[in-house]
Every structure is written in structure tokens, then in C-alpha cells.
Amino acid sequence: MKRNLPKFVLWSLMMLMASLVFASGGSEDDVVLRVFSADSFSSEWGPGPAIAEAFFEETGIQVEFESPGDTVTVLNQLILEGGETRADVVMGPDNGMLKRVLEAGILSPYASPVLADVPQELILDESFHLLPYDFGQFAICYDSESGVRVPTSLEDLTSPEYEDSLILMDPRTSSPGLGFLLWTVAAYGEEWPAYWERLQPSILTVTDGWSQGYSMFTTGEAPLVLSYGTSPAYHAEYEESTRYLAAEFSQGHMTQIEGMGILAGTEHREEAEAFIDFVLSPAAQEMLALYNIMNPVNSTVELPASFDVAIRPSILEFPGGAPSDEENDALIQTWIESFAP
Amino acid sequence: MKRLSQEGAPALALIWPLLLWVVAFLAPLVAVAFQGALSLGTLGGLLSSEYYRGVVKVTFHQALLSTLVSVVLGLPGAFLLARRRFWGQGLLKSLSTVPFVLPPILAVLGFILVFGNAGAMNDLRVWLLGADSPKWRFLYSLRGIVLAHAFYNFPLTLRIVGDAWESLPLSSTRAARSLGASPARSFWHADVPRLLPALGTAATLTFLYCFLSFAVVLVLGGGPNLSTLEVEVYRLVKYQLDFDQGSALALVESSVALALLGIYALADMKLRQRNLDHSTTTQKREKKALSRWESLWALAYALPAVLLILAPLAAVVINSFLGRATRSAPLTLTLSHWKRVFGGGRTAGVPAAAALRTFALGGLTAVTATATATLAAWYAYRRRGISVKLMEWGLGMPLGVSSVILGFGFLILARLVPPSPVLRLAALLAAHTMAALPFSYRLIAGAFRGISPRVPQAARCCGAGPWRTLWGIELPLVRRSMATAGVFSLALSAGELNATLILAPGNFTTMPMAIYRMIGAYDIFGACALGSVLILLCTGAFAALDRYGQKEHP
Amino acid sequence: MSSKDLIFQDIRLQRGAFSLHVNATFPHGKLTVILGPSGCGKTTLLDLAAGFVQPDEGIVCSAGLDVTHLAPEKRRVGVVFQDHALFPHMSVQDNVAFGPRMRGLGKQEARKRARKYLELTRMDALSHRRPATLSGGERQRVALARALAIEPDLLLLDEPFSALDAALRRELRGEVLRIQKETGITAVLVTHDQEEALAMADHLALMRGGEMVQMGPPQELWENPTNLFTATFLGRASQLQVKNIDVQEKCFLVETGAGILSFNAVTQACPNLPATVVFRPEALTLWENPMEDFRRSTDNICAPRNSSSISPKTSTQAPLLLQAKVRECIYHGGSWTIKLGTSHAGDEMEWDYQGALPPQVGCSLIFQVRPESLHLLPHEALV
């Protein structure tokens, strides 16, 4: 028995580990609405769980999130799955992905009555396949304690005083990165590669994703970072700090409108519509503001006080609407090639 | 020739590793191939593009340089850990392995906290030389990439070469010394040839990791002019669903990696054959205490090395305890981040559950990976010839295939897996096991090679069948390597993110996932706190391993 | 031939460049020694007997059973390896008890059995030690106890003493012989040490290049080698290359560099050339009156001086004379080995000389040699 004790402990430890891993799966309920979203949305740190809970309390419909990764991954999976998908609703594709979503034909339109409360400029899809739920403007955030002068325009960023001060994201791997590239294209037209040449000395580094870049910024590595105009609201709300602020640029800001839609093949159309209506309702919109740190699209919502520090810049439209994938690709290719030292 | 070569048991043993390989590696690749119909048509166009040629060049350049630096930096450390005794050796060894398993986002963060333009090193500069002195720029250039890759991969050399060094038999050096060779010559002629296979393994693995590196190159290289093939594959496959070009580029990437693995396998075989000897002495060399002169150079080496390895880890931990009470108040020690992470609030219990889950998943991965690797290594030990070479090559392949491609394969397969969470978790376990397998296999196969084939034969004569011999005789003889493999697998699983995101069911959050999400939700210091737990977990696992190893070989 | 003998029947094995082809019977209850140079296939033969290697063709029989395709654990074979191959993670006692346990004995009985064989090999005092803490000789004793503990039909010993020093080697040889006689087990020992082979073997099997060269009691192989290899590999042998053979009515005259030798055509078949005359150093005696008698002897080789007729019997009794030059004298403490050569370059002779002063290097000596101690062997037998 003495010899067998370690063996026994080992086996029970394994059983315990197995049960820990596999028990978390839980059982499959029949009446659930399956929502595909980016993991940042559905996780405990995102707005997903709170919205699902409130929705359940109001309607008795259970929502289950599925998140294979970021929004691009989610969209890829839905496109790959086509009609076979188990998803009922998708959340996350933004105005930049609109063309791809529509081309894939995976969504069915729904003109929610709550859209009446949404300003016309935020209705990203006139055919109502993809409905907006929140939006944010890309903005350069600055560390007010670093002593950096607040930049006032894209052109201002090229000033020599900002040498090695700006953290950007790669448009190949991140949506803010692509947003910023489009911003410069919208602002400078054909002249945009020349702008990037002027901007280069100011760039400290280009990160693969927003998380990496913003974390570098908050640890003080650089005083300027590409982020959202709403980012300061987070620090105000949760840290009671106004150290990090967003700079408002004269030429207006490129806007990201995040959208949701009902999958064409859903068997829970009614519940899906209820969910969409709920997300657009003031209760959920407020949660989105607080937990997603984005602007709600419903204009009747009263913004939390912390949003006072967020900027509300004018919207800069991309000429001719959001570019297609091919156009994006061409822009990115030009961008990288002009980036060579 | 002196083997039970016609026996069926080893072939049976191979079924499970093969099955796993097919399910967790081949299937996703085939899925991608079907999706994109692996077209070679675009290959010519890609290679003639000046831009892609540049990317290939940069990828090679940084990988070679990083490998060189990692190995050169690692060798003295391997010597010190293997041949000398000093205070804190065990802890140092345990800690040095942690960077290898840290999620990149945290590793890069820790690195920037120390070596960044506003990092600890530059604080030191301000303190020493004044605020007006020019900034020390460690990062945002090729130098930054190489430094970070050294940080990441230096433990490979330290561990792999160190372990080989530690197990060098006493006899060879004694023989050389008795023939009148000086210590230096005896080292060169008796030890170096025996260390070469280990060095080759460490260098090959390091090169592959650097070759397929992604975030580190992008962030610390300072921008897209220093980007790798992997970034391009990511862009093409993930953002543009451009399988034609993406898979063609991935093919270039994988061919290089797999060719390298092939060359490595051949060279390794040659080296090992040359070193084959039938000496029966297994007496190991004593570890010596550091002499005064050695202490000096050890210190000169260890200080920067420790700074490179430990400072970024320490920075993550320290930052989890720092905070400012109000705007522009001085930095103070605080537990507020830890309270926020592990205390109440909206995410109450999630990080703690994630930590537990990570540990459990890691433990299961350790068990399956070790078992799988052991079966495969047993096959290689018992059989000879082409089937073994093929198997070893196959097991090395996951190291050479882009994780973006593999991840995409998982994504395609994920929809084929029924929504059952149990199935999804089993798939996740298989993916983690596959990622840990190349390492585990190498470790355990090396140990098997150290057993005289006569020992299992003796057991057979005693009446033990092949399986009983494996269980009762061979396994106990390789258990130290199995433990090492287990801990490596646990640590690799604990740090894995990509496959986990795709395959894990909705409510299954692991630590790296939580870390990413917290950073994504602006809570960088909370992520540091959780990262500290991950660092602690891995250090603890490695420390337990080293203690076990010491007990086995007093 | 007892049916319990160890029989290798037409065994063929091909592994790369190496090929083995053996027909052999090793007698039951006896200690057979397989002797041969490195790479001759003697260890492979042992592996075949143990079941570690399966032959491409042929049958292996042990204790009356066809065991050719039986796995090692199904045979009743105990093996002692050159590197002892003890289980390093087990105590001495557990090592020895492992076999009995595997063969179905209970824990207590297995321990009892282990103690019995540890006593037999005089290792009972160290039964709780780990192999790593034992000396080479002690390890080999444990290995022997482990092999015997399964009470096998067949005991195989693969160069068991080669890693030991000379004194220990002698001691263990005695032990193995004692134990083999006590237990009456059929044993096969592989060695490349001919002294060991001669000292231990009941039955000696000489191997070369994957084939059996000659088998039989050691004396037979020593005294009547049927081929050049046996003659030269076992002990020291002097060799004289045959230049020419002159076949006569009842004898044939063999011309060598040391003189012409006559062989009886009745007892000795006339070989084809090339051939060699082989004999032991002890076959030589110094011829007291060199010049005169030597001349006479060579002049009249078929009719030595005191013999009127050449009857087969007398001719074999009649001494022959050889002349050789001293090349080198090696002192052995009390005696000398004198190396001799002839005008023929390939010839090598040795002669043991008892005396204070050795002959001078370069001088010619004439020896008398008994015809029956000469072996005229053709070279074909080598292959």
C-alpha cells in the first residue's frame, strides 16, 4: 500500500485535471441563441456576458457566445462555413469589412425599429444586412504627463519634436492599423505615400496588434499611440485618471462602426431579432459604452460621465465609401514598399 | 542487427503517435490544402517580387543572427550549470526556462519595460549620466530583434547543451587527459564532439523559432521594413483569405524549415554514429565549485545574462505591484491590481479559474505528450532504418509549419467537430500535445539511446514480454527525461494561445487568453499580475523538475 | 547426440555485408565455448540462441524444442552480457528476483530464489546494494545470479570476463566452471580469448567469417586442426610455406624454406598448393650435431640413416630436420621465446628455449621435429 500511494495520488490528480478541463464544457441546451463574436467582446472583460445576462432577464432567451479569435477570424469562419453555420447572430464586422460581408451573402437583412434612434451617418449598411451597434473614431492618444505637445493634425505628427514618439499598428495584422492607413489616404489622397515618408521619423515602432501597442504606451514607452477617441474614457471610468487623452485632429477622424447581423440560415430568427433590438436599446448601449469603451450608436442614450474626456471629432468619410479588399490590399502593398528605409 | 527487429510491439506502439499526428497536424494541413488548393502558380510571381525577396532575406538574416547570438550566449551558461556548483544555481536554471513559454505579448512587454526607450535601463542612464544624455536605443532595430530572440531562445541552448554536458561520461575526459592532453585539448577532442549533437539540436530549434517569429520581429524591429514571412502569411491568409499567395508563401517558409530539419536529422545521425561507443562506464563527472578566477568570469558573464533573462520577467512581476494613487503621485507598492484580478467585480473568479484550468490542461497535455513521445521514442529505439527517419521527420514537422496556416486548418476543422465541448476540448488537447511533441520526443529519444540494448534483452530473457519490459525496465530508465518532457509540455501548453482561441469552447478561458483579453480591455497591470502567476507556475514546475532530477542523480 | 542438445540447423542470416551460415550442435549439460576473432558472428549466434535475432532460414533447437520463432521471454534461456546489463534502478536482490517474478513466482518465493542464487554466486552479502555501487566483478556475479535464477535450460555467456582484470578473470572463470558443473546446465560461452576458451571448454567451436570452422573437444582442435585457421588461431603455431610438393610412391616430399619434409601418403592426404606446414613450438628439439646430420638428412630425405625400408610406421617415427635463422629472442622470465625465420619471407617459427643465454640473432639452428606433430594444411580451408 505504501508503494502504491504515490501512484494513487498521481491517478487521482490526473482524474481531477481531466474533470477540471472537461467539466467546464457544460451541457448543451436546446433554446439558445448562438452569437459569434470576437473573443474580446464575449469574454468576461468585454460587454458580452453583461448584455447576455440582461437579455436573458428581459426575454428568457439564453445567449451563448462563440469566439474562435478576433473579428477577422470570426468572419473567416462564418464565410468558410457558409450555410452550415450554427451561428444565429454575428457581432463585430465593421465598416471596413462591410463589402466582404455583403459579398459572402451570409447575412439576411433586418430593419430593426430601434434603428430610428440611430443617426443616419452611422447606418453603415443601407440594405440592413449589417446593423451598427457602436462606433469609435481612430485617434492619436497622448500621455499628458510625458510633457508632449498635443498634436493637432496628421501633418503635425511629422514635426521633428515627435521623433520616436508614435506607436502605430500594422495594417496587415490589425484593424486600427488599417484604419489609420485609410485615414491618411482619405486625408491626403494621391499624396499619401509622401506623407508616410515624412511621418517615418516620428514612428517608434509598428506593433502587430492594438493590445501590444497600447500596453507599450501605458507603460510609458512612447507618448503617442494610435487608438480610439474613446480610450480616455476607460481610464476616467476605471482608474479615475485623466492622464491619457485623445488628440482631436483638424481634418476629421476616420470612423470605425462595428456592426451585427442575423445569419441567413438561422433557425431562431425571432430570438435573433429580439437580441438585435435589445443590443440597440439604451440599456445595452450603455453597457457597450462602459465595457467596450466605444460610443453607443443610439443617440437617446445618456453617456456615462467618464465619456466627457472622450473626444467627439467630426467624421472623415473615405472617398467613395469603404474600400474593397482588393483596394485595401493594393494600398497596404504600396504602404509597405514605400516604408523601406 | 542485435535487435528484436521483427517484433510487432513497437509497431503497435506507433499507432497512437501516428493517429495523433494525423488528427492534430496532417488533418489541418490537408484542410488548408483543400481550401486553397495549394497553388504553386503564384510562387514564381512571389519570388520575382523585389518586396518578397526582401522579406525572405530579412527573415533569414534575423534568424541566423539571432541563432548565433542565442547559442553563443547560452554556451557559457550551459557550462556553468552543468559543470560548476554555485549558490542559486537551481533557481537560475528554473527561471531561465520561463521566457521560452511566456505568451509573446507579455514577453515583449517585459522586454520593453527593461530595454525600452523609457525602460529601466534608460532610467539607469538618467540616474548615471543625467537626463540630457543620449537615449540608449536597444530596441526598434535588428538589434532589438536579436536581443529579444536571445531572451526567448537562450534557454534552449542552456537546457539542451547543459543537460548533454552534465551527462558526459567521466571516462572520455580521463582517457584524453591520461594520454597527455591539456584540459583545453581534452575538452576539444573528447567533449566537443559529444556536445555537437546537442548544440545542433539547440541551434536548429532556435533557428526555426526565430525563422517563424512574428510579433517580436514586428514590434521590436521597429516596423514593416523588418518583417518576416510569417507576417506576410498572416496578412495573406487571415486578412485577405488569399490562399493562393498565402499558401505559396507558407510553402516557401515550410520548405526551408523542413529542409533544415532534414539536414539536421542527417547531420545528427552522422554525429551520433561517430560518437557511438561501447564503454561501459557510466560514471558522471563531479560538479566542481567555482575557482576564484572562474568566479570572476562567471560573474562577468552571469550579470548581463541574468539581466537579459530575468529582468524582463521581474519587470512584469514588479509592475503588477506598482501603482499611482492619483495622477502624478509617486509610484507606490500596491496590491490593487491583484485585488482587481482575483477579487470581486465583474470578472470575479475568472482569472483564478483560468489559472486552475491552464494548470489542468497543461497537466493533461504533459501526460499525453509524454506518453506519445515515449511510444514514438521506443519505436525508434527498437527499430532502425527508413521508418524511424520518416517518423522523426514527421514529428519535427510541426516546428516548421506556420502557426497561421495550422491555425487556419484548425478553424476549418473546428466546424467539422460537433459542438460538443468535450470533443472540442479533446481536439484542443490534441493540438497542444502536437505542439509539445517535437520537444518531448527529442528529450525522451535521447534518453532511450543511452540505454544499452542489452538491458531490455536481459529483461526479455528473465521472462518479461515487450510491453512488460517497456513498463518495468525501459521506462524507469528514461523517467528523468520523461519528467523533463512533461514539464516542458505543461509549460508550452500553459503559454499556448492560437490553437486555444480557435478550439476552446466559449467559456473555457486559459491564462494566456485572460492576459490578452485584459490587455485588450486596457487592464495592462492586471495582465501583469496574471502574467506573474503564469511565470510563477512555470518556474515552480521547472524547479520541481530540477529537484526531481537531483534526487534521481545525487 | 542427445535430443536436448542446442542445435543450429542450417541457419542463415544476412545483415548488410555480414552473412552467417551455421550448422552446429552444442552438447547438453556441457560448457561449449565459441571462439573466434571480432566480427566472426559468435555473438550473433548467441543472439540467435537467446531469440534476440531471428534467422532468415534454418532452425534453432534447444532442450528438444524448436525455438526458432519463439520470443526470448518464451524460451528458458539465461544470458550474461559483456556489459552485465543489470537493471540500474533495482537493488541486487530485485535484479535477481526479476526473472522469477516474471515467470510467475510470488514475491516471497522470488526473493527466496534470488537469495539462493546470490549465495551460489557469493553475492548474498550485497543484496541490497544498487548495481552502480558494485565493482565490475561483483556486477558480473550478480548478472550470473540473475541469469541462473530463472533456472534456464540454457545459459549463454557473452564475453562475460572481458571487462575484468586478469586476476578477477581467472577467479570468475573458476566460479563459472564450478557453477556449471554443480548445476549441470547446458552453457555456451563466447570469447575471443583462446586461453580462456581452452581453459573452460568441454566443447570448443571455432568460428570465422560467419561460419563454423571446426568443433570438438579442445584437445582435438589443438592437436588435430583440420585447417590452417584452427591451427594458427589456437595457440602459437609455426608456419612454413610449401614451395613445392614431390609426390612419390608411399610418401610425398614437401619443400619448404627450412628444408624438405617427408609426409606419409597413407596417413596424410596430399593437398593442392598453396599449402602450409604448421606445428607447435613444442614440436621442435634442437639437433645436437648440426652440420653433418643435417646434410645427410636432406640428401637422403626419404631414407633416413638408420632405416633401411620406408615403412609407413617407421617413417612417421623417424625425426625430420629443419633449419632456421634466429631473428629475435624474447625473455619470459626463466625461458626464452626464440623467433625464427627461413629464406622464405612468409615463414614464421617459434621455439621455447630454457637456458641462461639465448642463441645469437642471425645464427642458423637445426631442429629435429617429429613427423606426427606436423600438419600439412591447404590454404583453401581458410575460406
At C263, which CATH number?
2.40.50.140
Q: CA–CA separation, B543 vs A91, rounded Å?
A: 44
Residues of C with CB below 8 A from B458's CB?
79, 81, 85-87, 143, 146
- For residues C72 and C175, membership in a common domain is answered with yes
Q: What is the ipTM of this complex?
A: 0.83
Please calculate the CA angle A228-A248-A338 and round it to the nearest 5 degrees.
70
Q: Are C168 and C255 in a shared domain? A: no
Nearest to A339 among B224, B513, B522 (CB): B224
Residues C289 and C253 in one domain: yes
Are residues C151 and C55 part of one domain? yes
What are the beta bridge partners of residue A295? A135
The CA angle A219-A220-A226, to the nearest 5 degrees, is 90
What's residue C382's pLDDT?
A: 45
CA-closest candidate to residue A340, choices B108, B240, B58, B147: B58
- pLDDT-based confidence at A6, cuts 50/70/90? low
**Of the candidates B250, B252, B236, the residue with the CA atom closest to the CA atom of residue B405:** B250
What structural domains and CATH numbers belong to chain B?
A: 1-37+344-554 (1.10.3720.10), 38-275+294-303 (1.10.3720.10)
φ, ψ at C23 (rounded to 5°): -125, 120
pLDDT of residue A198: 93
Please state, rounded to an integer, the average pLDDT across all residues of chain A: 88
pLDDT score of C315: 44
Q: Which residues of chain B have pLDDT under 70?
A: 1-6, 36-42, 169-182, 273-286, 324-330, 344-346, 419, 549-554
- Chain B hits for A170, CB-CB cut-off 8 Å, are 218, 224, 227, 231
Please tell me what DSSP assigns to residue B329: P
How many CB atoms are closer than 10 A to CB C14?
Answer: 13
- Does A136-255+311-339 match A32-135+256-303 at the fold level? yes
The answer to whether residues C219 and C362 belong to one domain is: no
Q: Are residues C204 and C271 in the same domain?
A: no
- The average pLDDT across A139-150 equals 92
Chains that touch B (3 or more CB pairs under 8 A): A, C
**Sequence-ordered alpha helix ranges (H) in C228-375:** 228-233, 290-299, 312-317
Please state the φ and ψ torsions of residue B340, each to the nearest 5 degrees.
-65, -40
Residues C180 and C34 in one domain: yes
C256 shares a domain with C177: no
Last residue of a domain, one of C207, C227, C247: C227
* Cβ neighbour number for residue B549 with a 10 Å cutoff: 17
* Chains with 3 or more CB pairs under 8 A to chain C: B
Q: Are B540 and B363 in contact (CB under 8 A)?
A: no
Least-confidence region, from A74-83, A86-95, A114-123, C260-269: C260-269
Residues of B in contact with C54 (CB under 8 A): 5-6
**Cβ neighbours of residue B144 closer than 8 Å, sequence gap 6 or more:** B115, B138, B220, B221, B222
Q: Which residue has the higher pLDDT, B91 or C160?
A: C160
Contact B66, B146 (CB under 8 A): yes
Give dist(CA B495, CA B103) in Å, integer: 5
Sign of dihedral through CA atoms B459, B463, B465, B470? negative
Last residue of one domain, picked from the residues C174, C205, C227: C227
A169, B135, B234, B399 from B149: Cα distances, Å? 21, 22, 20, 16
CATH class for domain A136-255+311-339?
alpha beta
CA angle, A59 then B518 then A139, to 5°:
95
Q: Does C169 share its domain with C284?
A: no
Give me the mean pLDDT over the C327-338 stretch: 84
Inform me whether the C-beta atom of residue C345 falls under 8 Å from chain B C-beta atoms: no
Distance from CA of B449 to the nearest CA of A (A): 27
Residue C340 lies in domain:
236-382
- Considering C227, C253, C288, which residue would you say is the last residue of a domain? C227
What pLDDT score does A246 carry? 95
Looking at every residue in chain B, the average pLDDT score rounds to 81
Cβ neighbours, 10 Å, residue C130: 16
Q: CB under 8 Å to B74, separation ≥6 — which residues?
A: B154, B155, B156, B157, B158, B161, B202
Indicate the SS3 state at residue B226.
coil
Cα-to-chain-centroid distance, residue B478: 20
**Is residue C7 within 8 angstroms of chain B, CB to CB?**
no
Instruction: Let me know whether C81 and C132 are in one domain.
Output: yes
Which residues make Cβ contacts (< 8 Å) with residue C350, sequence separation at least 6?
C236, C238, C281, C337, C338, C339, C340
Fold of the CATH domain A32-135+256-303: D-Maltodextrin-Binding Protein; domain 2 (3.40.190)
Domain assignment present for residue C268? The answer is yes
Residue A328 has pLDDT above 80, yes or no: yes
Summarize pLDDT for A52-69 with one digit per residue, the tens: 999 999 998 999 888 888
Determine whether the interchain pair B421/A26 forms a contact, defined as Cβ–Cβ distance below 8 Å.
yes
Distance from CA of C190 to the nearest CA of B (A): 15
Q: What share of chain C is helix, strand, coil (3-state, %, to 5)?
A: 30, 35, 35
Enter the C-alpha cell of residue C216. 570438438
DSSP-derived letter for residue C27 is -
Provide the 10 A C-beta neighbour count for residue C103. 17
CA distance to A197, B382, B444, C66, per residue, from B2 (Å): 69, 10, 22, 21
State which residue of chain B sits closest to A231, comparing Cα positions: B522
Query: Within a domain: residue C1?
Result: no
Beta partners for residue C341, in sequence order: C325
Residue C100 and residue C42 in one domain: yes
* Domain count within chain C: 2
Hey, are the CB atoms on B464 and C150 less than 8 Å from each other? Answer: no
Shared-domain flag, residues C16 and C124: yes
Segment A234-244 shows an average pLDDT of 87
C-alpha cell at B440: 518531448
Asked if residue C134 belongs to a domain, the reply is yes
* Residue C267 DSSP class: T
Of C98, C95, C100, C159, nearest in space to C131 by CA = C95
Cα B365 to Cα B96, B248, B371, C52, C352: the distances in Å are 22, 32, 10, 35, 74
| In-domain check, residue C49 | yes
**Which of A151, A108, A125 has the alpha carbon at shortest distance from A273?**
A108
Q: What is the pLDDT of residue B181?
A: 64
Domain boundaries, chain A: 32-135+256-303, 136-255+311-339
Contact B1 C15 (CB under 8 A): yes
| Residues in Cβ contact with B154 at an 8 Å cutoff, skipping those fewer than 6 apart | B70, B73, B74, B77, B96, B99, B305, B308, B309
Q: Report pLDDT digits (tens) over C281-291.
A: 888 888 765 45
List all chains that touch chain A, counting a touch as 3 or more CB pairs closer than 8 Å. B
pLDDT, tens digit (0-9, with 9 covering 90-100), for B5-35: 457 788 888 999 999 999 889 998 888 777 7
Q: What's the one-letter identity of residue A59?
A: T
Q: In a 10 Å sphere around its CB, with 0-12 CB exposed, 13-18 middle and 19+ buried, how is residue B552 labelled?
A: exposed
Tell me the average pLDDT across A160-170.
93
CA distance B220 to chain A (A): 7
From the CB coordinates, do chains A and C have 3 or more pairs under 8 Å?
Answer: no
Q: Which residue of A has its CA nearest to B239?
A: A72
Q: d(Cα B71, Cα B149) in Å, to the nearest integer?
A: 11
